[in-house]
Chain A
Amino acid sequence: MIKYILRRILYALPLLMGVNILSFILFFVVNSPDDMARMQLGQKHVTEQAVQNWKHQHGYDLPLLWNDRASSNKKMTETIFYQKSIGLFLLDFGVSDSGRNISEDIKQRMWPSLSIALPSLIVGLLVNISVALMMVLFRNSYLEFSSIVLCVILMSISSLFYIIGGQFFIGKLLKLVPISGYDTGFSAIKFLILPIVISVISGIGSGARWYRTLFLEEVEKDYVRTARAKGLTETQVLFKHVLKNAMIPILTGVVVVLPLLFMGSLIMESFFSIPGLGSYTIDAINSQDFAIVRAMVFLGSVLYIFGLILTDISYTIVDPRVRLS
């Protein structure tokens, strides 16, 4: 398995290089170094000289990908792409164009993101599985039918509506929790309740229906019939046998998103003023801060690849028939 993981990591390197080149090209198609300088220097009294000074100081006065004027291998190394990218592979994200240490910011902002995303995932998973099991348990009854209708309704509502509606109802009318904000330590709990509740409720529709499909598929299998024939009750069949076997696709689906939980949620963090990583990239794009954009795209790609490797490994753990080679 170690060989397999090492090979996957080596495969990831050209992939990351590709992502890096792509994000570099996309960024500089829209923004030129001059635009970046003007954005940082402000709108008033910005002279051409000031723009040139800024570019020189931040290393944006070099050619983008290829330096014709340089000699031999410097043609490639004395470029914005090389100078700004090489540190990424050592996970050195450097300093943002506004002068802040990006690694420090990421370290600081990933915890609030995680503090919403992780409980939302765990509670959401438990709730969705419970609802799905209940639907399967009461299948072919009014409860199942009304649950499916409810799930479809929940799926059809925009996530923004849940957020604004939740803030209005729970925060503004019932006054049970703060409408938005964040704090450190245990004081953060009261700020996290509402976003977690909202993200769980907004996910029930699609989650419960998906798990119900998985459970129904299992319920029809031979081993379930055998279990019933042995005289087990329906609850014993569902919780002891069906749930265990249906966990394989559930678990692998969860593992792949685990690393991406660090990246946070843009809308949720924005509406609840949670200082996470979700809005970090968007803010950077708006302020044309290339250093942050490339760091976040790179980090996202690394985490995604890591998630895929974890998924592969989790297959071997939950299903002994799978072997990595």
Chain B
Amino acid sequence: MRIVFLIIFNLLLSSCDLSQLNNPYSEADPNLSILYSSFSERPKRLDPATSYSTSENSFLAQIYEPPYQYSYLKRPYQLEPLSAKKLPVINYFNAQDVLLSGNFSANKIAYSEYIIEIKQGIKFQLHPAFIEANRHLSSDQIEKLTQLNDFTEQGTRELIAEDYVYQIKRLADPKVQSPIAEFMKEYIVGFGEFSQEVKDKKKIEIKSTPLSGVTVLSRYKYKIRIKGKYPQFKFWLAMNFFAPMPWEANEFYQQKGLGDKNISLNWYPIGTGPFFLEENNPNQRIVLTKNPNYHETFYPSEGEQVDKEKGLLKDAGRKLPFIDKVIYILEKETIPYWSKFLQGFYDASGISSDSFDQAVQFSASGNAQLTETMQDQGIRLQTSISTSIFYMGFNMLDPVIGGDSEHARKLRLAISIALDYEEYISIFMNGRGIPAQGVLPPEIFGNLEKKEGMNQYVYNWKNNNYQRKSIEKAEQLMTEAGYKSGVDPKTGEALVLYFDTTSVGAGARAMMNWYRKQFEKIGIKLVIRPTDYNRFQDKIRDGSGQIFTWGWNADYPDPENFFFLLYGPNGKVKFKGENAVNYQNSKFDQLFEQMRSMDDTEQRSQIIQQMQEIIRHDVPWVFGYHPKRFALYHQWFENIKPSFMAHKELKYLRIDATSREQKREQWNQAVFWPLIAALVLFILVLIPAINAFKKRSRKTVQ
């Protein structure tokens, strides 16, 4: 009995660290620089050719390295070499395939060639695929495997230009199903032909099949040939889609039986990045560990003016990465995450609506600041405007709200004025957003600030700030549109408009009521049509929706990536493109075509202002808001600069593990007395009951 007790006691001791009973981690981490983070949704795929979601990118961006990246500290966002030696050399050719030089107009360009030279000596992470024997396993050997770590032998090899070319071939392979394949078909020479040629071939055979537009020039140099001039292509080269992939990966993972054990490229990447995937258990946790083969990369020594004041240049010139390990825990709910953050078990946190008031308060001047409790814990707040826009779209094919008639335009403009997005941001977003003045978010080339960037159709400039035009102005526009006091002359009753939304359930009721109230200000009756996302998309695709809200998150920091959402030939109904409101304006389209192939010059900026003016005038969108990200960080977390592009920031971050351990101990002393008090109370209640029972029992016996 005593032995059993001892075993149980030892087991309990081993499972609980008595100094921090509530510590959720079993790793002994005081001396390791471990970053603790979470994921709420398990990644669907970790293949750089197929993954296109922000959550998956947060893992992939640390494992794979495309040729270019965005500067960590400089703003506006700037491209810089990553695995490439320098920025690409771009050559232009005319229709006769003659190299163009000197001054020439963009419309003479038939082809552009991107010549990319990569750094020498970069090595892939250790992986069993690089051992030849592992690529030819017998079925018995495969049967014994349960995970990738079961392989005892791992190897590596040097990164070469061929690996980049191989990855582009994978993008074109229909069996891989890259989401950008159809898009790239429009640009990369020979991409479509290559897709046709390899569609019935084995995956590994793409290695020996040439892709005419993408060729290896030497061991460390390759060339991509694209149709016409597409300056934004350089931004694609900073995305994981264009990260190198060793051909050995395909040969290794295509072995029969490995997929059944979830050992596939989707779950075990092979990269050259600062971290490698040590553990992938998407049902529980994902662990990234510092890549011992990572090439020499150093913390930047240049940034914005404020970066030095914020201490962001303290580590300038030091070798990256600083963090040894990143542990992502599956955490589906925000409340437990928040509590664990306050206990020091997570290093950073966003702020959910539930905990917003506990964390943030607004000063008299409207600035967000931390509450005293947060400040006492040494927590820091960072806010940043994201490169996204959320808008209300009007279907321009709709006979009532759409079209280019002056009546419809004034109706849309009246709604734009009536829809008080300042109030929306305050009520539904706890002030976490700024009202949009146009299509472009801040930090995107062409966006102007203050009065110059104001939407003069909806706002006035007063007291050095934007002020929404009065509701009287909106009412006047309604009258001019033919709907005096909101009355539809055809029915003699209030004009009825339809709002399609995916926000359903009790939680969305307040927001829907708010929308109704905004439209009622100008006499319009808004009918809410809640629907699931599939049907909503159907309505947008076939143009049967009237009013809806949607958003766009930038792929890359270029105005083209926002204006293309309103480009006529991208119309959703006619051309199945991304222009969800089906807006078409020939002048706008012409300016767009001109602007998209230009470099960032003053002339381009002027064209962008003209485009903004056209959109503000025509009102296909009510420019909603650009979300403002509020993030909290513990005092031991260093070198944080918010970035909305490519998410390669992990290698720059630093954790002071000793300080964290001290704080955790200080904040997590277990409290036992309430339990003891409850036990005593229970006994006190039980004693008279037992006595009474005994008395009664004796009576029965007598």
Tell me whether A101 and B21 are in contact (CB under 8 A). Answer: no
Tell me whether B15 and A98 are in contact (CB under 8 A). Answer: no
Q: Which residue of A lies closest to B43 (CB)?
A: A98
Which residues of chain A come closer than 8 Å to B28, judged between CB atoms?
A: none
A281 beta carbon closer than 8 Å to chain B: no
Tell me whether B179 and A46 are in contact (CB under 8 A). Answer: yes
Tell me whether A173 and B671 are in contact (CB under 8 A). Answer: yes
Identify which of residues 146-177 in chain A touch chain B, using a CB-to-CB cut-off of 8 Å: 164, 167-168, 171-177
| Contact among A42, A104, A191 for B260, CB-based, below 8 A | A104
Identify which of residues 92-107 in chain A touch chain B, using a CB-to-CB cut-off of 8 Å: 95, 98-101, 104-105
Which residues of chain A come closer than 8 Å to B45, judged between CB atoms?
A: 98-99
The stretch among A3-11, A33-41, A206-214, A246-254 that forms the contact with chain B is A33-41
| Contact among B284, B336, B532 for A30, CB-based, below 8 A | B532
With A40-B44, A273-B332 already in contact, the answer to whether A53 and B174 are too (CB < 8 A) is: yes
Tell me whether A44 and B52 are in contact (CB under 8 A). Answer: yes
Task: Give 1 or 0 for each of A256-297: 1 = CB within 8 Å of chain B CB.
Answer: 000000000000001111010001000100011000000000
Q: Which residue of B lies closest to A171 (CB)?
A: B22
Tell me whether B671 and A41 are in contact (CB under 8 A). Answer: no
Tell me whether B283 and A174 are in contact (CB under 8 A). Answer: no
Tell me whether B21 and A105 are in contact (CB under 8 A). Answer: no
Which residues of chain A come closer than 8 Å to B41, judged between CB atoms?
A: 283
Q: Which residue of B lies closest to A58 (CB)?
A: B177
B498 beta carbon closer than 8 Å to chain A: no
For the complex formed, measure the closest distance between the CB of B620 and the CB atoms of chain A, giving whole angstroms: 20
| Contact among B177, B537, B693 for A41, CB-based, below 8 A | B177
Identify which of residues 28-50 in chain B touch chain A, using a CB-to-CB cut-off of 8 Å: 41-42, 44-45
Tell me whether A279 and B332 are in contact (CB under 8 A). Answer: yes
Identify which of residues 396-434 in chain B touch chain A, using a CB-to-CB cut-off of 8 Å: none
B331 beta carbon closer than 8 Å to chain A: yes
With A47-B576, A275-B283 already in contact, the answer to whether A183 and B669 are too (CB < 8 A) is: no
In the assembled complex, the Cα of A177 lies from the Cα of B179 at a distance in Å of 44
The stretch among B162-170, B261-269, B456-464 that forms the contact with chain A is B261-269
| Contact among B259, B284, B345 for A275, CB-based, below 8 A | B284
With A101-B259, A171-B339, A272-B336 already in contact, the answer to whether A30 and B534 are too (CB < 8 A) is: yes
Tell me whether B21 and A176 are in contact (CB under 8 A). Answer: yes
In the assembled complex, the Cα of A48 lies from the Cα of B541 at a distance in Å of 11
In the assembled complex, the Cα of A16 lies from the Cα of B322 at a distance in Å of 55
B473 beta carbon closer than 8 Å to chain A: no
Which residues of chain A come closer than 8 Å to B492, judged between CB atoms?
A: none
Tell me whether B175 and A57 are in contact (CB under 8 A). Answer: yes
Consensus secondary structure, chain B interface: loop
Task: Give 1 or 0 for each of B498-539: 1 = CB within 8 Å of chain A CB.
Answer: 000000000000000000000000000000000010100100
B97 beta carbon closer than 8 Å to chain A: no
The stretch among B180-188, B306-314, B631-639 that forms the contact with chain A is B180-188
| Contact among B22, B343, B689 for A176, CB-based, below 8 A | B22
Tell me whether A180 and B177 are in contact (CB under 8 A). Answer: no
Task: Give 1 or 0 for each of A93-129: 1 = CB within 8 Å of chain B CB.
Answer: 0010011110011001100100000000000000000
Tell me whether B15 and A190 are in contact (CB under 8 A). Answer: yes
B12 beta carbon closer than 8 Å to chain A: yes
Tell me whether B179 and A41 are in contact (CB under 8 A). Answer: yes
Tell me whether A50 and B181 are in contact (CB under 8 A). Answer: yes
With A31-B534, A47-B182 already in contact, the answer to whether A190 and B339 are too (CB < 8 A) is: no
Q: Which residue of A lies closest to B669 (CB)?
A: A175
Tell me whether A44 and B179 are in contact (CB under 8 A). Answer: yes
Q: Which residue of B lies closest to A276 (CB)?
A: B283
Q: Which residue of B lies closest to A280 (CB)?
A: B283
B330 beta carbon closer than 8 Å to chain A: yes
| Contact among A175, A181, A288 for B671, CB-based, below 8 A | A175
For the complex formed, measure the closest distance between the CB of B41 and the CB atoms of chain A, giving whole angstroms: 8
Tell me whether B671 and A178 are in contact (CB under 8 A). Answer: no
| Contact among A41, A98, A167 for B336, CB-based, below 8 A | A167
Tell me whether A186 and B22 are in contact (CB under 8 A). Answer: no
| Contact among B15, B177, B692 for A186, CB-based, below 8 A | B15
Q: Which residue of A lies closest to B41 (CB)?
A: A283
For the complex formed, measure the closest distance between the CB of A280 and the CB atoms of chain B, giving whole angstroms: 8
Tell me whether A186 and B11 are in contact (CB under 8 A). Answer: yes
Tell me whether B339 and A44 are in contact (CB under 8 A). Answer: no
With A99-B266, A101-B262 already in contact, the answer to whether A175 and B670 are too (CB < 8 A) is: yes
B24 beta carbon closer than 8 Å to chain A: yes
Tell me whether B12 and A189 are in contact (CB under 8 A). Answer: yes
Task: Give 1 or 0 for each of B659-685: 1 = CB within 8 Å of chain A CB.
Answer: 000000000111110110000000001
In the assembled complex, the Cα of A271 lies from the Cα of B334 at a distance in Å of 9
A138 beta carbon closer than 8 Å to chain B: yes
A179 beta carbon closer than 8 Å to chain B: yes
For the complex formed, measure the closest distance between the CB of A230 and the CB atoms of chain B, giving whole angstroms: 13
Tell me whether B336 and A271 are in contact (CB under 8 A). Answer: yes
Which residues of chain B come closer than 8 Å to A42, judged between CB atoms?
A: 52-53, 179
B26 beta carbon closer than 8 Å to chain A: yes
| Contact among A54, A164, A190, A234 for B16, CB-based, below 8 A | A190
Q: Which residue of B lies closest to A44 (CB)?
A: B52
In the assembled complex, the Cα of A150 lies from the Cα of B701 at a distance in Å of 31
With A171-B22, A189-B12 already in contact, the answer to whether A101 and B179 are too (CB < 8 A) is: no
Which residues of chain A come closer than 8 Å to B22, judged between CB atoms?
A: 171, 175-179
B335 beta carbon closer than 8 Å to chain A: yes
B700 beta carbon closer than 8 Å to chain A: yes
In the assembled complex, the Cα of A109 lies from the Cα of B284 at a distance in Å of 9
B141 beta carbon closer than 8 Å to chain A: no
Tell me whether B333 and A271 are in contact (CB under 8 A). Answer: yes
Q: Which residue of A lies closest to B335 (CB)?
A: A164
B340 beta carbon closer than 8 Å to chain A: yes
Which residues of chain A come closer than 8 Å to B14, judged between CB atoms?
A: 186-187
With A141-B692, A179-B340 already in contact, the answer to whether A174 and B179 are too (CB < 8 A) is: no
Identify which of residues 19-64 in chain A touch chain B, using a CB-to-CB cut-off of 8 Å: 30-32, 35, 38, 40-42, 44-50, 53-54, 57
B487 beta carbon closer than 8 Å to chain A: no
A143 beta carbon closer than 8 Å to chain B: yes
Which residues of chain B come closer than 8 Å to A325, judged between CB atoms?
A: none
In the assembled complex, the Cα of A322 lies from the Cα of B675 at a distance in Å of 47
B697 beta carbon closer than 8 Å to chain A: yes
Tell me whether A179 and B336 are in contact (CB under 8 A). Answer: yes
A313 beta carbon closer than 8 Å to chain B: no
B23 beta carbon closer than 8 Å to chain A: yes
For the complex formed, measure the closest distance between the CB of B552 and the CB atoms of chain A, giving whole angstroms: 9
In the assembled complex, the Cα of A188 lies from the Cα of B24 at a distance in Å of 10
Q: Which residue of A lies closest to B17 (CB)?
A: A190
A66 beta carbon closer than 8 Å to chain B: no
A233 beta carbon closer than 8 Å to chain B: yes
Which residues of chain A come closer than 8 Å to B15, judged between CB atoms?
A: 186-190
With A40-B44, A47-B182, A104-B261 already in contact, the answer to whether A175 and B24 are too (CB < 8 A) is: no
Identify which of residues 426-473 in chain B touch chain A, using a CB-to-CB cut-off of 8 Å: none
For the complex formed, measure the closest distance between the CB of A48 and the CB atoms of chain B, giving whole angstroms: 6
Which residues of chain B come closer than 8 Å to A35, judged between CB atoms?
A: 534, 537
Which residues of chain A come closer than 8 Å to B343, judged between CB atoms?
A: 172, 175, 179
In the assembled complex, the Cα of A104 lies from the Cα of B282 at a distance in Å of 12
A216 beta carbon closer than 8 Å to chain B: no
For the complex formed, measure the closest distance between the CB of A276 and the CB atoms of chain B, giving whole angstroms: 9
B329 beta carbon closer than 8 Å to chain A: yes
Please name 17 further chain A to chain B contacts, defined as beta carbons within 8 Å, in addition to the given A44-B52, A183-B26, sorted by A numbering: A30-B534, A99-B44, A143-B689, A173-B671, A174-B670, A174-B671, A174-B674, A178-B345, A179-B343, A186-B11, A187-B14, A190-B21, A273-B329, A273-B333, A275-B284, A275-B330, A283-B42
10 inter-chain pairs at a CB distance below 8 angstroms, sorted by A residue, are: A30-B532, A42-B52, A50-B177, A53-B174, A105-B283, A167-B336, A172-B339, A176-B21, A180-B336, A271-B333
Closest 8 CB pairs of A and B: A47-B182, A178-B24, A181-B24, A180-B336, A275-B283, A98-B44, A35-B534, A275-B284
